Each structure stands twice: as C-alpha cells, then as structure tokens.
Amino acid sequence: MKKILTLALSLAAISTVSAQDVMLTLHPDKAETVIPKEIYGQFAEHLGRCIYGGIWVGKDSEIPNIEGYRKDVFEALKDLQVPVMRWPGGCFADEYHWRDGIGPQEGRRKMVNTNWGGTVEDNSFGTHEFLNLCEMLGCEPYISGNVGSGTVQEMAEWVEYMNSDTNSTIAEERRKNGREKPWNVKYFGVGNESWGCGGNMKIEYYTNLYRRYNTYARNYGDNRLFRIASGANGGDTHWMDVAMRECRHNMDGISVHFYAVRDWGSEDDPITGIPMGKKGSALVFSDQEYYEIVSKSLEIEDIIRAHIAVMDKYDPKKNVAIMFDEWGTWFNVEPGTNPGWLYQQSTMRDAIVAASTLNIFHKYTDRVKMANIAQVVNVLQSMILTNEKNPSDPCVLTPTYHVFKMYNAHKEGKFVPADLVCNHIQVNDKEQVPVVSSSASLKDGVITLSLANMDLNQKHTVSVSIDGKQVASAEGQVITSADIHDYNDFGRRESVYPHVFTDSKIGKKDGKLTVTLPAHSVVTLTVKTK
C-alpha cells in the first residue's frame, strides 16, 4: 500500500508542475541515412479475425468486397500506402502447409488453428489470395516459411511455386491454379520465433536448420530473395551473437520481436495456454499504467542498441539488417471476446506509443530496415477494426492508423539528426519518460518534423532551431483527444483523428519555429526553410 501511495503522489506532483520549454536543434546538413518505407510495414496472421472477417470475406459475401477482399478494409489499406505485409504468421507460420491453401477453394484441407483459439481454418485464404492482395495494394509481400513442422522440400517448392517462370511441374501447377506469371516474392523468412512457438529450439540448433533450409530456397530468374532469419526475443543478445557468428554470410536480415507489455502474467488460459490476466486493459488504465506502458515501449531503443553492438562485431559494414517484424502494445483481450483471438481496442495511448516507436526506428535505419506492427486488422495494436457482432458495419480506423498515415511523409526521406533537451517524468525508481519524443526527415529540400507530447496533463512548448536555416513556413496536423482513454468505435462519432494544427509560430527576427503541443498529442509538420 505504501508503494502505491508513493507512486500516486509522484504522479500528482507531476501534474501540477508547469510545463517547461523543450529545445530541439535539427542538423539537416548531417542527414545521410534514408528511412526505408518498409519501416511502416504491416503484419497479417491467421489469428482471430485478422484474415477472416477482417481482410477476407469471400467473393460471395453480402459484405461489399473486391474479389473477396472486404471493400472498406481494402480501401483503407490502399489509402495507408502499405509498403510491405508479412504473412501467414507469426506462430501460425510454423504449422502452415502452403499446399493446403491452393487450388479450388471447396477442395482445400481444413485444419484446427491450435495456436490461436482452436478455430477451424478452412484455408480459403492462401498463397494466391495473399499475393494477389499485395499486388492490388502495391505492396511487397513478406512470406514466413515453415521450419517448425515443415520440410526442406516443402519450403523449396513454395518458393518455386511463387517465383519460378520455368516450365517445371511446380510452375505449371501455379498456372493451372490461375496465375500465369510468378509473383517474384522478395522477402522470405526462414522460420518464426524458433526460440518459442516455432519449435522451442536453442539457437545453436536453429542456425544449422537455417543454413539447411535456406540453401534450398532458390533464386529464380532475376529475382533475389531477401533472406530473413528467425531472430531474438526482445533483448536476447546471445541468440543474436550465435546467429551472426554462424549465419551472417547466408542472410540479409534477422528478425527481432518486442511487445510493450506491463506484465505477461503467470496464469495461462486453460484452453489456449495463452498468458492472461496481468497485461491490463486497453481501455481502463490509470495514469501510472499509462506511463508504465510508454516507458516499456521506449525500451525498444535499448534493445536496438544492444543488438547493433553485437552485430557490429561480426558485420561492421552493416550488410545484415534488423527486421522488427513484430512490435506493438499487447493488453488483455476485450471482455466477451475469444481469448485466443487477441482482439483489443486502441486508444490515444496507443497513438503515443506508435509515434514514439516510429521516432526511435528512424534513428537506427542504418540497421533497422523493416518493421511490421502487430497486426493489421482486429488483432493487438491494429490499424483497422471490423465488427464481429454486426459484420456489415463500416470498419473503424484506429488512432494508430492515423499516426501511420500522418507519418507517411517520412518514408524514404533522409533522417535528420537532432539534439533534444527536455524534462523527464519519473515513472518509478528506475524508469523515466521524456515529455517529448521527436523525429525529422529531409526530402526534396523539405523537412518533415514529428513531435509526440507524452505528458498526460501538460502542454509543452518546443523551440525548434535548424542549423544554418530560418523557417519560412510550417503547417501540419495534430492527433489528440480530450481524454487519453478516447478511442474510435462502431456506431459513434470518431474521437481520435487528425486535425489541422495551428499552434506554431515563426520568429520574425531569428526564424526559429515555436510549437506548442497539447497534452498527450502527436504533431507532424511540413517545414520549409530559407
């Protein structure tokens, strides 16, 4: 009780302190590293209602669809300009057998999705459906291959099926199933979470498997696979060390997974075995819980630095990329929903986490070349929600969706180094949260500046200086809400969405930009200089 009281008093004291100015100095002359658009990647797993009822409703559905893809979801993804999408898992990938999902849909094999809720999987959404979706969206597919329960031959033939333009039996089978030309899949993962649901392997064992499976995942024609190894769980640098030592010459990237979770919990759901009960609610949380999640999400920077230090020992030229192909917040499922479907709501808190995490990724894109938030529809920190009870209701765009769309301008801009000076909020004895997170990029002579005010209760004024430049104009958008708990839901007016931002001014004499950030907000500005 004493500890709780101390924390409460600490936060109360924070809320009464007047906001201090934040100093930000941008160095556009030092901008060198390009922010890959793949940092804004998505992840679609056969989990809950991500695929079925989310992306895919089938061509005969009464729900408006485009070739079986739910129309409003498809249009929202198209508008989001998704650069890359990972599929079919996740944990599902290592029990997925691709031949179950090709050919006439009525003849496809049914299976039980033992990873996620015991749902019967009818495989009506398979290789053709996923790769055609990516083609229609204009995004790169990222395939996760089955190492945990699949064979080398199975993986090799899947790559051939997707990428070969020869007259082989496998390529002819693809043509018979309706696809003449290969899709030329670029990104290919050899296993997923091999330390856990992908086989519970030790890294010393996995590296041998990786080299074996990877050998037979052939290149076809001019297409070259970007080969991705199953990497570490969070900050497991031993896994990274052995993987880099043994496989660095055979891989282009290695995955890292990290979720912002307060407490994974010790009690498992009796049916699914999924840890439940201690991650907290997505909608009902205290100020203290807010700061704890934000603080937890910021740990991703320490994890990146630790892995980079290991990788630099073996690969100083940075030929091997980090792929954060799973990240995001993870809370208890919404009451009354299947615990194995991982359906959670998304509030303004999630928008803050999304923005500050993307800001961190931008800093390390000399190593971090891709990130795939988990997941795209109806699962964890999703972009889009559809209504399970009334499937024909229009889909809902989450606060995280709006952050991703607002950040689109950073894609393929050069990261602008910066010096940020600001106060910090004391979360507990060991953790602090800076009041502001920032990132800037440069493209075609224009600076895109993103700022997240992580202070729940106070606005903060940011004084922005640009080396050797004066600001000529600045305009942009803000995402905020009256309450950090606000969220978007079915059948009511949208609560969290971008507005035109007007609270910035340019100094007449010094040409500096002053930006006043509302409490718990995300702002992105287009800044032109003279």
* Averages of pLDDT over each 10 residues, the chain, 530 residues: 36 41 95 97 97 96 97 98 97 97 94 89 97 98 98 98 97 97 98 96 97 97 97 96 97 97 69 66 95 96 98 97 98 92 97 98 97 98 96 96 98 97 92 96 97 96 94 96 96 93 93 95 96
List b or e across 1-26, with b for residues whose CB sees 16 or more CB atoms inside 10 angstroms: eeeeeebeeebeebeeeebeebebeb
Q: Give the pLDDT score at 269.
A: 56
Most distant CA pair in the chain, distance: 74
Q: Give the pLDDT score at 10.
A: 43
Spatial neighbors of 427 by CB under 8 A, at least 6 apart, are 288, 291, 292, 295, 433
Return the bridge partners of 527, or none.
447, 474
Is residue 193 part of the annotated active site? The answer reads yes
> With contact defined as beta carbons under 8 Å apart, do 485 and 285 qualify?
yes
Q: Helices (DSSP H) in 21-164: which residue ranges? A: 71-80, 127-137, 152-163
The single residue of 129, 292, 326, 388 carrying the catalytic annotation is 326
Backbone angles phi, psi at 28, to 5 degrees: -65, -25
> Of all helices (H) and strands (E), which one includes residue 301?
helix 287-314
DSSP class of residue 377 equals: B
Here the tokens at position 235 are 């900050």
Return the bridge partners of 256, or none.
232
DSSP class of residue 163 equals: H
The single residue of 38, 193, 246, 388 carrying the catalytic annotation is 193
> Whole-angstrom Cα distance, residue 277 to residue 281?
9
Is residue 135 part of the annotated active site? The answer reads no
> Of all helices (H) and strands (E), which one includes residue 453?
strand 446-453
Spatial neighbors of 292 by CB under 8 A, at least 6 apart, are 262, 427, 428, 431
Q: Give the pLDDT score at 275.
A: 55
433: nearest Cα among 314, 525, 301, 305:
301
For each of the domains in the chain, give its residue range(s) and CATH number, in order of start: 2-31+417-529 (2.60.40.1180), 37-412 (3.20.20.80)
Backbone angles phi, psi at 7, to 5 degrees: -65, -40
Angle at 130 between CA 124 and CA 131, to 5 degrees: 135
Could you tell me the pTM of the whole model?
0.93
Q: Give the pLDDT score at 363.
A: 97
Q: Give the pLDDT score at 263.
A: 85
